[in-house]
DNA sequence: TTTT
DNA sequence: TTTT
């Protein structure tokens, strides 16, 4: 009886940060920019464009796709949910970080643009990921994963 | 070339905070809860339900509807965009707050549940808002608003 | 590199049609109404409200939830994708039907409204479905389903 | 109390059909393809990819942008609503056509790909539309349009 | 820190 | 701070 859904299209701000946990689960983090267009209000006030930065978090198969194909500048479609984490800073103050946990990702733009991820563009490793079951997102992924004791 | 869209269904955490700016523009703020269901992982780990709180911001016509019909506990559909504001706290540290700027809102549940907002349920003030032009969301609203020099 | 996503909130037009296939897979079909609000154009023309009917199709766990809890009049959130099927009518003309294949469903409104599904509201069968793994939607469902040779 | 929302990312099937009504309102129609990925079920059945064709309808400012920048093959983000029209064919049978009425559109891919629409890429006609007020989508558009007596 |  |  609850829905928490985010849909973003934007550009990746820097190469993803990739980590593998002890259980071999992959996690990717990167910033994604969306930009509102500039416009002029009816009263004639000019509103400049405004960029919003989103902290994207990917798990498992989607994180592995990010490792292979996502780079600074990549245009992405991201579908996921909002999650705000709290943490305590060095001054012992509770602070909050809002992140987007992705459960779907699509690489946009044409195939031959998505190179740039040079180490992966090899003959038997198509530049455009096929995203078939073994590397797919959370759905199929969770079905393939015998060890899955993480809280997300 | 950018999309920043959020879709939420949840329950309002407390009565909206309503303000009228000098130019008579109405602004409403309230927290909305969405709750992930509890589940058990394939490894048998129990994950409890988790509630996410979203800071909702409404402007103009939508804020006025909130003033009339939204109360603590109301179930709402919200469509909007993510916006992170930065501010400087008393320790002079830059902090960030993520908010949802709504551009569409729907009151869910059946008509006669949406009472509770007792002061407005008067005879010529139907409990279920008709949401026709004068009080509608951003679209019609912007068309009706001669003074509109705010940056959103 | 493709997205096909539909989000609907509306009311069920009649009790779901439930079928079980030979392999015991459950399928549910029902119409869902969404209604555009009436409004007046800037030129003063009155546009009446307009109801759109959507053919909803649910599979497996979601269909079983529909069997238990969805009835004529139920207010639902549906997330899914558009699919147009062609078929040949008795005059041998190819015709098309557009359906919404749901991959998420939420029952809206308050708990005690969702009764009406009288046969299921028994003591050990909570009216509000818990939607935990065994009866959940496509995600977990596909993980639990050893026989799964259907084309969706 | 109703939501009817569609989000599509796909490729345009052929150059848009552009018409101007008597009141100078522009309407654009074109097919958009979204393609589900091929996959293999847990039972080992291969499901081929499947393409879905959507009939996109744009009005006013969005239709004019389509006239200038959208061509066969263009990758687009479309946000809109589902609408099913009925009509009577030559055999006097009522038939139905489902269309997507767009209220937002974004051209995807990088700037220099979006040429192809060669006749419009002239010096004072930037290839990447700025989409500022005068040519924007339904929102601002309705604000700028003094004659607006159409039923959408 | 992206992109236009 | 909601709701189930």
Interatomic CA distance for residues A88 and A102, integer angstroms: 25
* Nearest nucleotide to B37, CA against C1' atoms: F4
Residue A61 CA distance to nucleotide F4 C1' (Å): 32
DSSP code string of A7-35: EEEEEE-SPPEEEE-TTS-EEEEEEEEEE
- Does residue B79 form part of some domain? yes
Query: Would you state the pLDDT for residue B94?
Result: 84
- Record: contact A39-D130, CB cut-off 8 A: no
Contact C19, C27 (CB under 8 A): yes
Chain C positions in Cβ-Cβ contact with residue B133 (cut-off 8 Å): 39-40
pLDDT of D17 above 90:
yes
Residue C115 CA distance to nucleotide F4 C1' (Å): 14
CB atoms closer than 10 angstroms to residue D10: 25
Percent of chain D topping pLDDT 90:
61
pLDDT of C123 above 90:
no
pLDDT tens across D123-152, in order?
Answer: 333 334 433 333 333 333 333 333 333 434
Taking only the tens of pLDDT, chain B with its 152 residues reads: 899 999 999 999 999 999 999 999 999 999 999 999 999 888 889 999 999 999 999 999 999 999 999 999 999 999 999 999 988 888 888 888 999 999 999 999 754 454 444 433 333 333 344 333 333 333 323 333 333 444 44
Its domain, for residue A52, covers: 6-149
Query: Would you state the pLDDT for residue D127?
Result: 36
Interatomic CA distance for residues C45 and B137, integer angstroms: 20
Residues linked to residue C124 through DSSP beta bridges, in sequence order:
none
Contact C55, C83 (CB under 8 A): no
Task: Give the gap in angstroms from C-alpha B146 to the nearest C-alpha of chain A.
Answer: 7
Two tokens, residue C77 = 């959130």
Instruction: Count Cβ atoms within 10 A of the Cβ of residue D87 and give its class: 0-12 exposed, 13-18 middle, 19 or more buried.
Output: exposed
Residues linked to residue B6 through DSSP beta bridges, in sequence order:
A6, B80
Helices (H), chain C: 60-69, 138-144
* Nearest nucleotide to B51, CA against C1' atoms: F2
Residue identified by tokens 């469509």 is B79
- Does residue A1 form part of some domain? no
- For chains C and D, CB pairs below 8 A equal 115
Interatomic CA distance for residues C40 and B140, integer angstroms: 10
Q: How many CA atoms lie within 13 A of C71 on its CB side?
A: 11
Interatomic CA distance for residues B108 and A139, integer angstroms: 29
Give the predicted TM-score (pTM) of the model.
Answer: 0.79
Q: Residue A7, by phi and psi: left (phi above 0), alpha (psi -120 to 50) or beta? A: beta
Q: Report the protein residue whose CA lies nearest the C1' of nucleotide F1.
A: B13
- For chains B and C, CB pairs below 8 A equal 48
Residue of C nearest to B48 (CA): C132
Q: Which residues of C touch D (CB under 8 A)?
A: 1-10, 33-37, 41-45, 47, 52-54, 75, 77, 81-84, 91, 93, 95-98, 142, 145-151
- Does residue A10 form part of some domain? yes
Among A115, A141, A102, which Cα is nearest to A9's?
Answer: A102
Sign of the CA dihedral with C110 first, then B104, B25, and B129 last? negative
Query: Would you state the pLDDT for residue B137?
Result: 33
pLDDT of D83 above 90:
yes
Interatomic CA distance for residues B126 and D82, integer angstroms: 29
C12-26: average pLDDT: 96
pLDDT tens across A37-94, in order?
Answer: 999 888 888 999 999 999 999 999 999 999 999 999 999 999 999 999 988 888 888 8
Query: Would you state the pLDDT for residue D133?
Result: 31
DSSP code string of B91-139: TS-EEEEEEEEEEEEEE-S-GGGSTT-GGG--TTS-SS----GGG--HH
Interatomic CA distance for residues D133 and D137, integer angstroms: 8
Interatomic CA distance for residues B120 and B122, integer angstroms: 6
- Does residue B1 form part of some domain? no
Two tokens, residue A146 = 């015998």
Alpha-carbon distances of A80 from A54, A100, A101, D103, D147, rounded to whole Å: 12, 6, 5, 22, 40
CB atoms closer than 10 angstroms to residue A111: 11
Q: Which residues of A8-45 are buried (b: 16+ CB within 10 A; e: fewer)?
A: bbbbbbeebebeeeeeebbbbebbbebebbebebbeee
Q: How many CA atoms lie within 13 A of B63 on its CB side?
A: 18
Radius of gyration of chain C, Cα coordinates, nearest whole angstrom: 18
Residue of C nearest to A2 (CA): C106
- Does residue C29 form part of some domain? yes
Interatomic CA distance for residues B46 and B37, integer angstroms: 11
How many structural domains comprise chain C?
A: 1
* Residue in C40, C109, C140 nearest the CB of B108: C109
Rounded to 5°, the CA angle C72-C77-C83 comes to 90
Query: Would you state the pLDDT for residue B113?
Result: 52
Q: How many CA atoms lie within 13 A of C55 on its CB side?
A: 12
CATH of the domain at C53: 2.40.50.140
Under DSSP, the state recorded for A133 is: G
Contact A61, A137 (CB under 8 A): yes
CB atoms closer than 10 angstroms to residue B17: 11
Alpha-carbon distances of B46 from A24, A151, B41, C54, D16, rounded to whole Å: 21, 9, 7, 37, 53
Lowest mean pLDDT across B52-56, C39-43, D47-51, D102-106: C39-43
Please give the backbone phi and psi of residue A67, each rounded to the nearest 5 degrees, phi first. -55, -40
* Nearest nucleotide to D111, CA against C1' atoms: E4
Percent of chain C topping pLDDT 90:
61
Among B80, B23, B141, C127, which Cα is nearest to A1's?
Answer: C127
Residue D141 CA distance to nucleotide F1 C1' (Å): 39
Non-local CB neighbours of B30 within 8 Å, separated by 6+ positions: B12, B13, B14, B15, B16, B17, B56, B66, B70
- Does residue D1 form part of some domain? no
> Which nucleotides of strand E are protein-proximal, with an atom < 7 A from a CB?
1-4
């Amino acid at each position: 009886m609850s829905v928490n859904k985010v849909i973003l299209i934007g550009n990746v701000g820097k190469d993803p940060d990739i980590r593998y946990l002890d259980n071999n689960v992959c996690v990717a983090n990167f910033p994604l920019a969306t930009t509102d267009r500039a416009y002029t209000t009816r009263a004639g006030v000019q509103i400049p464009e405004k960029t919003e930065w989103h902290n994207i978090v990917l798990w498992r198969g989607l994180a592995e796709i990010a490792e292979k194909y996502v780079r600074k500048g990549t245009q992405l479609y991201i579908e996921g949910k909002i999650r705000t984490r709290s943490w305590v800073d060095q001054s012992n103050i509770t602070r909050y970080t809002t992140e987007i946990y992705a459960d779907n990702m699509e690489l946009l733009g044409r195939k031959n643009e998505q190179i740039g991820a040079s180490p992966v563009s090899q003959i038997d490793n198509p530049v455009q990921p096929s995203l078939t079951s073994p590397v797919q997102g959370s759905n199929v992924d969770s079905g393939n994963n015998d060890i899955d004791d993480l809280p997300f």
